[in-house]
Structure 1
Amino acid sequence: MYLDFLSKFGVGGAHPGGLDLTQEILKNEKISESSRILDVGCGTGQTAAYLADRYGASIIGMDINPIMIDKAKKRIKQCQLPVEIIQGSIENCPLPDGQFDLILSESVLAFADKPRSLHEIFRLLKQGGRFVANELTINQQLNSTYTEEIQQFYGLDSVFTEKDWLSLLEKTGFTDIKTSIQKPSMLENNPSPEFQFSEHIEPHLYMIPDQHLYMMTKYRNILDYRVFSCTKE
């Protein structure tokens, strides 16, 4: 239901830190007009639009959700930006090998099959290409009851510690892996998002923001996020 809420409410910048953090992260990457970038799980297209407008790079935004795709295309059309928006899953991406200089995921892989997704990201990158991810992380292992509550509410198949993420990135073949721990916490570092409301929203989805806040408060020192950056050599 959480992902249904995001799509029906058209939440832009739902990831921790929002667009402000995205802009800070991207300052550390070598992006130019010749860069080819894939925004995995692009949602309403907020980051993809920023990349095209700020850097003039060649951008593809991809999302599995058709509602998000429609809203992303609407944004790109309104902004008159040369961004390609496609529907697809990063677990089985329809794009050919080795064509991207940078791939970005913002609170996406936590909701997907992580090994398969990272394998596809590695395949899609050029030699020397960069992968940057802002992803949900737990600060300690939890008992099965707490783990199940988190996974059930957010629709996750697993929750990873920072060590789990680093191990999987290394196993996939990435090098020069760096982690950035952002402060303040996920609960506090959540700027007001933007919304693109669908015409019809199921009544139960209006309860999700309060339930999300409850989860953030209950697991205040446990649910967190990390920014990972790495290279395909």
Structure 2
Amino acid sequence: MKQHQSIARATPVIPDIFQPAPSGDASPPPRYETPHARLGACQPDPGLSRTLSDDEILALNTYDFMAYLGKSVINPGGLKGREQLLAVLNPRRGTRILEIGCGTGHAACHIARRYHSHVTAIDVSPAMIQSATRHVQSERLQAHVQCELADVTRMPFPDGSFDYVISQAVLMFVDKPRALGEIRRVLRRGGGFAGLEFSWKTSPPEEVRQTTYQICGCRTLEFHGTREWGQKLRLAGLDRVKSQEHRFTMLSLPGFMHDEGALNTLRIMRRLLARRANLRRMREIWKHFARHSAYFSYSVLSASRLS
């Protein structure tokens, strides 16, 4: 899959509510980081089900902030990326599927329904597992989707447990050799992996690279180019590795509307406008990704375990 698509280099128009804050605003606080085995000093997960203070909102990492606002699709490619991922994996009906980094649980429920499969959905964040469990219950899919708190670098599953493994925006946060080794281990022989990750379309200046990681809010974050992502899968012993690069549009207004639909977009906007801290955090994220859009893309990865 060496199919490349160009990414627009013109900076998108930013809505007024996302314009830069006055120059007198304080610099952003340290972000809450999703707990991870490599990071003993991570700040604790603040919990997204309660009312957060302004400081806690400003300190949320990007993924937890989007979930806090009520966004249901939180990956670099949106719904389009999820469909691209499923198309390259093409899972058979009735199989065992592991979704790593399940977030709010929307993808796990979609996959379970579409493929009549059993999905084990894991995430390292307790808040995300709580959110995913509530969504599974609301969809009445408890018999088909199981949500578990687990770390991709040390998964609690026997060797060869799954026919397919899916991850969306996970590898960029973690120890990649350990995570990919675990993915290969839990796949049965002949099983398939598909992943969706942020990519650098072109190598950015170091200032842009470091500011991106700071705004996203995790010290373990590391993006790669599409070819380099593919190389990491090969080094982990996976076979038939393919990688495709695609244009990043998740934070464009058309992309947002496409992923969330009119009703949920309206709900998100209401919640966004309800707090100045919400607006400030969104403005910071939107401004950065719009200003540096020429550097961002996402990669759809696929591989198999043949031995």
Tell me what 2:239 maps to: 175
> Does 2:212 align with 1:150?
yes
CA-to-aligned-CA distance 1:170-228 (integer Å, 9 cap, x gap): 1001111112222465555733354698x9x9964543322221121122111111101
1:37 aligned to 2:102?
Answer: no
Which piece of structure 1 moves more, 124-133 or 208-217?
A: 208-217
Please state how far the C-alpha of 1:66 moved relative to its aligned partner. 1.2
CA RMSD of aligned residues (A): 2.5
Q: Does 1:109 align with 2:171?
A: yes
1:158-169 alignment runs, 5 A limit: 158-169=222-233
The match for 2:180 among 109, 118, 132 is 118
Normalising by structure 2, we get a TM-score of 0.68
In the alignment, what sits opposite 1:21? 81
Return the offset for 1:141.
2.3
- Counterpart CA distance in 2 for 1:10 and 1:89 is 24
Using the aligned pairs only, state the percent identity.
26
Q: Name the structure where strand makes up a greater proportion of residues.
A: 1
Q: Distance in 2 between matches of 1:160 and 1:43?
A: 22
Structure 1 residue corresponding to 2:256, chosen from 177, 191, 206: 191
- Per the TM alignment, residue 88 of structure 1 is displaced from its structure 2 partner at its CA by 1.1
**Counterpart Cα distance in 2 of 1:118 and 1:91:** 8
Task: Provide the C-alpha distance between the structure 1 equivalents of 2:248 and 2:171, rounded to a whole number of angstroms.
Answer: 22
Which residue number corresponds to residue 198 of structure 2? 136
Question: What residue in structure 1 maps to residue 293 of structure 2?
Answer: 220
Give the TM-score of the pair, scaled to structure 1. 0.88
Residues 92/184 of structure 1: CA separation in 2 closer, same or farther (3 Å cut): closer
Q: Structure 1: give runs of 5+ residues left out of the alignment.
A: none
Larger of the two Rg values belongs to structure: 2
Q: Which moved more, 1:73-82 or 1:15-24?
A: 15-24
Distance verdict in 2 for CA 1:24–1:149, change over 3 Å: closer
Distance 1:206 1:185 in 2: 20
Per the TM alignment, residue 30 of structure 1 is displaced from its structure 2 partner at its CA by 3.7
Compared CA separation, residues 39 and 181, structure 1 to 2 (3 A)? same
Structure 2 gaps, min length 5: 1-60
Q: 2:255 and 2:174 mapped to 1: Cα distance?
A: 22
Question: Contact 1:8–1:67 at 8 Å: present in 2 too?
Answer: no
Whether 1:67 aligns to 2:127 is yes
Report the residue type matching 1:124 in the other structure.
Answer: V
**Alpha-carbon separation, structure 2, partners of 1:134 and 1:190:** 16
Q: Given the alignment of the two structures, is residue 2 of structure 1 paired with residue 2 of structure 2, yes or no?
A: no
Is this contact kept in 1: 2:240–2:303, CA < 8 A?
yes
Distance change >3 Å, CA 55–CA 170, structure 1 → 2 = same
Distance 1:156 1:131, change over 3 A: farther
Kept in 2, the 8 Å contact 1:48–1:59? The answer is: yes
